[in-house]
Structure 1
């Protein structure tokens, strides 16, 4: 039997990937609403930060953050503002 939490995390990631593929911000918003509802119920929706735009460097959903003057990132990391 598949873990319900894992099933939900996989579904959220599929929604975000579809949003990136189709460049549909409404899909991102819908997935974010699901994440907020899950967190409000004490559930862990998993890491979905990569599927959010970065307010610091402007990375689009699905892209990694990049260094900007005064705000470098370590390889593979994201700006903290993106993860909140």
Structure 2
């Protein structure tokens, strides 16, 4: 029986991603921008440590169209969208 030495690290990283997503979901539910900021800070620290923070961009407000966390971006003239989001929203 062989074991994967990276399995534990991947499992822990996935747990961290789910936790950050749950913080964003709580922020949407409670309309608390501080929780969004804290989740973003955790994601930035993870990226500085070389870990993928996961797809959390939909939980950020959009600086282009003003879409609130958890809501889709709104198509605006003169602004391109990638995968139905403004690229500015996807940058940490």
Q: TM-score, normalised by structure 1?
A: 0.90
Please point out which of 45, 49, 53 is paired with 2:57. Answer: 49
Q: Which residue of 1 aligns with 2:19?
A: 11
Cα distance, 1:72 vs. partner?
Answer: 5.0
Q: CA RMSD in A?
A: 1.6
- Mapped contact 2:81–2:87 kept (Cα < 8 A): no
Give every structure 1 segment of 4 or more consecutive aligned residues whose post-TM-superposition deviation is greater than 6 Å.
none
**Alignment coverage as a number of residue pairs:** 83
SS in 2 for 1:46: coil
How far the C-alpha of 1:45 sits from its partner, in A, is 1.4
Provide the C-alpha distance between the structure 2 equivalents of 1:72 and 1:47, rounded to a whole number of angstroms: 20
Question: Which residue number in structure 2 is paired with residue 24 of structure 1?
Answer: 32
Give unpaired runs (5+ residues) of structure 2: 1-7
**TM-score, scaled to structure 2:** 0.83
The within-5 A match list for 1:69-84 is 69-71=77-79, 73=81, 77-84=84-91
